[in-house]
Amino acid sequence: MARAEGAFAQPTTAGTDGASEVLALEKQVERAVLRADIEYLDAVCASDFTYTHGDGWTTGSPILGVDTKSEWLASLPGRYAMREVDSQQVEIHGDVAITMGRVRARTGPATTAQRAFSFWYVRVYARRDGQWWYLSHRTVRGPVYEE
């Protein structure tokens, strides 16, 4: 059976079909997480947003934890002293975007002992009424703590 033209979404790269918009949103989200800007994050996360922690599930172990939107937002104040993203990639499939990348972070405020770590993630965004919404975060490797 022949496939109809346009029947399947084709992934795109940054700079095309919303990819740059999604990557810019993801960078703004990361800055907001670092500052614990709950008002901004509440405005860009979908009401059914979920944040899946740790990679235990990828090796057959139980999921380390899943936060609802309100649980995740409540956990942010004072959590990070540093947070930055690298190795970002994005796929756009119509009104759905999937991003992958690595977060490097340091826990705690500058006045306490800090712990550096990193993790790899996959995130899902959806465009609704012209706005990109952050739907889901899943850690797929890590966290890996530095010594």
Per-position DSSP letters for 56-108, written without gaps between them: GGGGTSPPSEEEEHHHHHHH-TT-EEEEEEEEEEEEEETTEEEEEEEEEEEES
Residue 14 lies in a domain: no
8: Cβ contacts below 8 Å, ≥ 6 apart: none
Distances (CA, A) of 59 to 21, 55, 62, 66: 33, 7, 9, 17
For position 45, which CATH number holds? Answer: 3.10.450.50
- Domain count across the chain: 1
Which residue range is the domain that position 27 belongs to? 19-145
Residue 104 lies in a domain: yes
Residue 76 lies in a domain: yes
Residue 59 lies in a domain: yes
Q: What is the pLDDT of residue 41?
A: 98
The mean per-residue pLDDT over the stretch 59-76 comes to 91
Residue 11 lies in a domain: no
pLDDT one-digit tens code per residue, 92-122: 999 999 999 999 999 987 667 788 999 999 9
